[in-house]
């Protein structure tokens, strides 16, 4: 991604934890993406990229925040890091299933975790895993695919 693209994009208001504070829970879920990522820089790059592609982006800094957001929101896809403090991605996947939260919403893992952890994520319900550093065009393409499926 070009730096100039990042600099041209206006930022949305964020809470101290990086969660969008202006989210409308009644908005159309077909264009909403929940990004769960602990790294502030990566979270912002993903937000800017997806916002520029026309998606409404909701941010969480860890799995616990992600679960809280899912109680009132229905994204078309969840982009999930696996290695995070507070609640990691594997625990998020297990808790989401246990609580029955948005079980039909596809989860796309974006992670630097090794093959075994990625395999475990797939057994817990993730649809696929992309390895960091992530090709942002590929990320957008995969999200577009899942959001189109949600619209059917």
Q: How far is residue 135's CA from residue 42's CA, in Å, rounded to a whole number?
A: 12
The predicted pLDDT at position 29 comes to: 53
The predicted pLDDT at position 108 comes to: 97
pLDDT in tens, 77-89: 999 999 999 999 9
What single DSSP character describes residue 109?
E
Q: Which of 133, 151, 130, 124 lies closest to 142, judged by CA?
A: 130
Categorize the per-residue pLDDT at 151 as very low, low, confident or very high, splitting at 50, 70 and 90.
Answer: confident
Q: Give the pLDDT mean for 6-29.
A: 36
Residue 105 confidence (pLDDT) above 60: yes
Query: 31 vs 4, 109, 111, CA distance in Å?
Result: 25, 18, 23
Q: Which of 65, 150, 62 lies closest to 104, judged by CA?
A: 150
Q: What is the CATH number of the domain that holds 106?
A: 3.40.50.2300
Check the CA dihedral 137-142-14-12 and report its sign: positive
Q: Give the pLDDT mean for 10-35.
A: 49
Query: What range does the domain containing 99 cover?
Result: 3-151
Split into its structural domains, the chain has a count of 1
What single DSSP character describes residue 134?
P
The predicted pLDDT at position 14 comes to: 34
Q: Give the pLDDT mean for 38-61.
A: 95
Question: In which order are the strands placed within the sheet that holds 56-60?
Answer: 56-60, 32-36, 77-80, 107-111, 128-131
Q: How far is residue 141's CA from residue 21's CA, in Å, rounded to a whole number?
A: 26
């Amino acid at each position: 991604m070009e730096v100039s693209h990042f600099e041209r994009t206006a930022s949305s208001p964020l809470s101290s934890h990086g969660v969008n504070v202006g989210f409308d829970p009644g908005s159309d879920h077909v264009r909403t993406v929940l990004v769960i990522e602990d790294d502030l820089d990566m979270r912002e790059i993903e937000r800017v990229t997806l916002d520029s592609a026309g998606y409404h982006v909701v941010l969480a800094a860890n799995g616990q925040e992600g679960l809280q957001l899912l109680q009132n929101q229905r994204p078309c896809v969840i982009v999930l890091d696996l290695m995070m403090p507070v609640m990691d991605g594997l625990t998020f996947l297990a808790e989401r299933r246990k609580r029955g939260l948005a079980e039909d919403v596809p989860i796309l893992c974006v992670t630097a975790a090794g093959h075994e952890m990625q395999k475990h994520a797939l057994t817990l319900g993730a649809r696929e895993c992309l390895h960091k550093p992530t090709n942002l065009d590929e990320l957008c393409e995969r999200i577009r695919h899942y959001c189109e499926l949600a619209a059917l």
